[in-house]
A and B are shown apart, each in its own frame.
Chain A
């Protein structure tokens, strides 16, 4: 799973690097537009375009019928029934491309979260790194040993939260850093990347030990110790400025991909 995740991340990192000269919103905008086009292609390849066209005509007809025969209850009722039936058919026809798109889109979004979703730590501002231990862990045992890069200080002893099976450390990045924290857990070295600085960058989220869980937390390598469930640094959410407004990256992503799909559907001959 690590290999699979790394391949996706490597491609995305390459793409991210191409736009390193510009604010992150530029790269995201181009990527979102390309995804919009990609979605159109998938829809064209996986859906029954002829049937969709027919159903959309039926929807239009029903709407016209409602408008023209607004004074005739019987005709209105018939039109409403047709409208509902056509809508359900349309949803049925859209289901197949939606299913085709769901997995790659979910994977893409999970990976993009590391590029656009988290803000690196601010130098001079403290944060926590927390390690969730596997069941059977005792809070009376010594906490794992932590080594930090020279740009990072540990400003308080670790806190063992018995009820949560968690150990938390308070960290202070004193300057920009792109490195790793190294924990020693029962003799096994466990690494967790740490990112601090001003520029938006690749910021991995939670590192996990379960293979299945790496699907949802793909940015870090699988934690090599069965004594640990996950490790996480509490990064703030990133936001991007678009036309002077603070916008969540997901909102911008869906907006741009949707608009590009709508604008290009005729040119690409796709009915959606």
Chain B
């Protein structure tokens, strides 16, 4: 009887215990802004021009933030997302390699085709659906918040494609492909006979046949998944060029618009038919009329997934991307939207790149302010890509242009500070800093010179990618990606020759050689650190891990040729490309920043600590795999 009388009290206590986290955190608010590539030294040199960051460090706190190994954005942001190091979340580079083929593959997401299909004539009808899934392991912090009944909104978190399933509103970020499934492939149309290239990294150059002032251009869409031959879909874009004025009219389906030379179009919606009238994929593009006379030069952005009808999952819930588009208009959905590729290829000038980049930032700021205005409760995470992408093209040479981008982000930070006031926790972080990229290191050539990689013919050195002339029977190690060296390991690599018991010794010898590696032109040491994943990382999710990670000194970076498995003639050469800043170096060389509106306890915070801080703010315990500590 006594127990029966106590039952309501006990049940009440139990219920209170169950809802402890959500009641404790009810009304809690936190804003976290992820600013890719914000560099501590640049910020410290420009306090007076960045008044909001300056105020935040004086009223709150500022530290350099230790970045990940290697300091690459998908790796670093995955550490923020999961609170684990790369050994936990399993992302070690922009690209991994398939050990069966040694070919580079995306480290972020994997697409699987439909299992069962029905073939009717030239068509394939899928009976089960295909899927796309993230390669990142571990739970995202907003999934954990959501499980605890805490609202959060996470916009454009890198390496969050497809977006982690949960009730929180989220929009995928870096790693989100274009409609063609690439990280962004632009098209450049021209009839300029001087332009003989047909492909450049990140883009294609298409010859435009101009006749009587008319050119039929073709916007290339995705491969048709419903056809046996997977024929590439396209839609016609007709350009009518005025015979005298530098202006052209474009006809795209039932839409017409005029562009003057040097003008960008609005977003244009394009439908790529798979089966006429029944099934199509929708994308959005932006055109730029660079020149009308004497030769036509038209740039078309990569075909972005249409946020109103995305062909791939880009948001949770699925309707969220549509709601944003209906409110704000179309926006860039491609993970990395700044057009660095066309600038690198010399197809866009610096000013044209900056104009496009400002459009990306304007898109982003519009979305940021919309969500900031709506923010009332829980967590708001928002990511800015502009500083990073502009720093790659401007670092150390065009500081005033870069400062303009920093200022725009600083203004947004000021808006967030006003919204946060005293009651809402505010964190600003970057995943890494920046350094000059003066000298390009051909790691595969280095491995060849040191006897770890052999070509079928020593004369076959060159820019041919994908290990075209590598003799795998006489190769112990190879480099893919921007910091990674893999051993040609027996039982793992197809036809690998390094025995398991030799593995450590070969890796150690390569590391020793790397440490001794000097720039032949200047005598400067090239490599500052060599990391062994098994020793470096606490996590044991190492099946995709390289055997060595190379940490270059400032000024050096793996060459573009290295990233895709080429073996050029020289080991180190001048970086003559427009991509002049980078961060894929030794982690200690390029720390990020951490600002907050509260004093930090941590003297040397690192990325994983941000995750722990967010969870602590809402009274949620971190998972066992998380390695960070709250910064205050």
Q: Which of B237-245, B513-521, B566-574, B600-608 contacts A (4 or more CB under 8 A)?
A: B237-245
Contact check, B245 vs A157: say whether CB atoms are below 8 A apart: yes
Cα of A266 to Cα of B298 in the assembled complex, Å: 65
**A163-B258 CB under 8 A given contacts A140-B243, A157-B242:** no
Q: Which of B213, B242, B243, B263 has the most CB of A within 10 A?
A: B242
Residues on B with C-beta less than 8 A from A159 are 240-242, 245, 247-249, 258
Cα of A168 to Cα of B240 in the assembled complex, Å: 10
A148 at the interface (CB under 8 A from B): no
Partner of A156, one of B240, B243, B256, B258: B258
A164 at the interface (CB under 8 A from B): yes
A107 at the interface (CB under 8 A from B): no
Q: Which of B240, B245, B249, B257 has the most CB of A within 10 A?
A: B249
B407 at the interface (CB under 8 A from A): no
Cα of A168 to Cα of B245 in the assembled complex, Å: 13
Nearest B residue to A163 via CB reads: B214
B26-71: which residues lie under 8 A (CB-CB) from chain A?
none
A130 at the interface (CB under 8 A from B): yes
Residues on A with C-beta less than 8 A from B243 are 139-140, 160, 162
Residues on B with C-beta less than 8 A from A140 are 243
Contact check, A161 vs B257: say whether CB atoms are below 8 A apart: no
Q: Dominant SS at the A interface?
A: strand
**A158-B242 CB under 8 A given contacts A130-B256, A170-B258:** yes
Q: Dominant SS at the B interface?
A: strand
B212 at the interface (CB under 8 A from A): yes
Residues on B with C-beta less than 8 A from A170 are 257-258
Residues on B with C-beta less than 8 A from A126 are 257
**A157-B247 CB under 8 A given contacts A128-B257, A128-B258:** yes
The 8 A CB mask of B254-267 against A (1 = contact, 0 = none) is: 00111110010000
**A156-B260 CB under 8 A given contacts A161-B249, A162-B243:** yes
Nearest CB on A from B218, distance (A): 17
**A161-B245 CB under 8 A given contacts A128-B258, A139-B213, A156-B260:** no
Contact check, A164 vs B240: say whether CB atoms are below 8 A apart: yes
A13 at the interface (CB under 8 A from B): no
A234 at the interface (CB under 8 A from B): yes
Nearest CB on B from A78, distance (A): 40
Contact check, B212 vs A168: say whether CB atoms are below 8 A apart: no
Residues on A with C-beta less than 8 A from B249 are 128, 159, 161, 168
Cα of A158 to Cα of B247 in the assembled complex, Å: 8
Contact check, B247 vs A156: say whether CB atoms are below 8 A apart: yes
Cα of A130 to Cα of B257 in the assembled complex, Å: 11
Residues on B with C-beta less than 8 A from A162 are 212-214, 240, 243
Nearest A residue to B260 via CB reads: A156
Cα of A169 to Cα of B259 in the assembled complex, Å: 11
Nearest CB on A from B238, distance (A): 9
Cα of A160 to Cα of B240 in the assembled complex, Å: 8
Cα of A164 to Cα of B251 in the assembled complex, Å: 11
Nearest CB on B from A172, distance (A): 11
Cα of A128 to Cα of B265 in the assembled complex, Å: 14
Residues on A with C-beta less than 8 A from B259 are 156
Cα of A166 to Cα of B250 in the assembled complex, Å: 13
Nearest CB on A from B250, distance (A): 10
A165-185: which residues lie under 8 A (CB-CB) from chain B?
166, 168-170
Cα of A162 to Cα of B213 in the assembled complex, Å: 7
**A168-B258 CB under 8 A given contacts A159-B240, A159-B242, A159-B248:** yes
A125-169: which residues lie under 8 A (CB-CB) from chain B?
126, 128, 130, 139-140, 156-164, 166, 168-169
Partner of B212, one of A157, A163, A169: A163
Residues on B with C-beta less than 8 A from A163 are 212-214, 240
Residues on B with C-beta less than 8 A from A168 are 240, 249, 256, 258
Nearest CB on A from B286, distance (A): 15
Nearest CB on B from A66, distance (A): 35
Cα of A160 to Cα of B249 in the assembled complex, Å: 9
**A161-B240 CB under 8 A given contacts A139-B213, A156-B247, A168-B249:** yes
The 8 A CB mask of B219-241 against A (1 = contact, 0 = none) is: 00000000000000000000011
Nearest CB on A from B586, distance (A): 51
Partner of A234, one of B241, B245, B256: B256
The 8 A CB mask of A224-258 against B (1 = contact, 0 = none) is: 00000000001000000000000000000000000
Cα of A158 to Cα of B249 in the assembled complex, Å: 9
The 8 A CB mask of A16-55 against B (1 = contact, 0 = none) is: 0000000000000000000000000000000000000000
The 8 A CB mask of B356-389 against A (1 = contact, 0 = none) is: 0000000000000000000000000000000000
Cα of A225 to Cα of B471 in the assembled complex, Å: 76
Contact check, A161 vs B258: say whether CB atoms are below 8 A apart: no
Q: Which of A130, A168, A169 has the most CB of B within 10 A?
A: A168
Q: Which of A159, A161, A162, A166 has the most CB of B within 10 A?
A: A159
Cα of A188 to Cα of B257 in the assembled complex, Å: 27
Nearest A residue to B250 via CB reads: A159
Nearest B residue to A128 via CB reads: B256
Cα of A204 to Cα of B213 in the assembled complex, Å: 31
A85-117: which residues lie under 8 A (CB-CB) from chain B?
none
Nearest CB on B from A137, distance (A): 13
The 8 A CB mask of A62-94 against B (1 = contact, 0 = none) is: 000000000000000000000000000000000
Cα of A140 to Cα of B260 in the assembled complex, Å: 19
Contact check, A157 vs B213: say whether CB atoms are below 8 A apart: no
Cα of A163 to Cα of B212 in the assembled complex, Å: 7
Nearest A residue to B249 via CB reads: A159
Nearest CB on A from B163, distance (A): 29
Residues on A with C-beta less than 8 A from B256 are 128, 130, 168, 234
Cα of A170 to Cα of B260 in the assembled complex, Å: 10
Residues on A with C-beta less than 8 A from B240 are 159-164, 166, 168
Residues on B with C-beta less than 8 A from A157 are 242, 245, 247, 260
Cα of A7 to Cα of B212 in the assembled complex, Å: 44
Cα of A159 to Cα of B292 in the assembled complex, Å: 11
Nearest A residue to B213 via CB reads: A162
Cα of A166 to Cα of B212 in the assembled complex, Å: 13
Nearest CB on B from A127, distance (A): 9
Cα of A139 to Cα of B214 in the assembled complex, Å: 12
Pick 8 A–B contacts, CB within 8 A, sort by A. A130-B256, A158-B245, A159-B247, A160-B240, A160-B243, A162-B214, A168-B249, A170-B257
Which of B's residues lie within 8 Å of A, judged by CB? 212-214, 240-243, 245, 247-249, 256-260, 263
Closest 10 CB pairs of A and B: A161-B240, A159-B249, A157-B245, A170-B258, A163-B214, A159-B242, A162-B213, A162-B212, A156-B258, A156-B260
Q: A159-B247, A163-B240 provided; 8 other pairs, C-beta below 8 A?
A: A130-B256, A157-B245, A158-B245, A159-B242, A159-B249, A161-B214, A163-B212, A168-B258
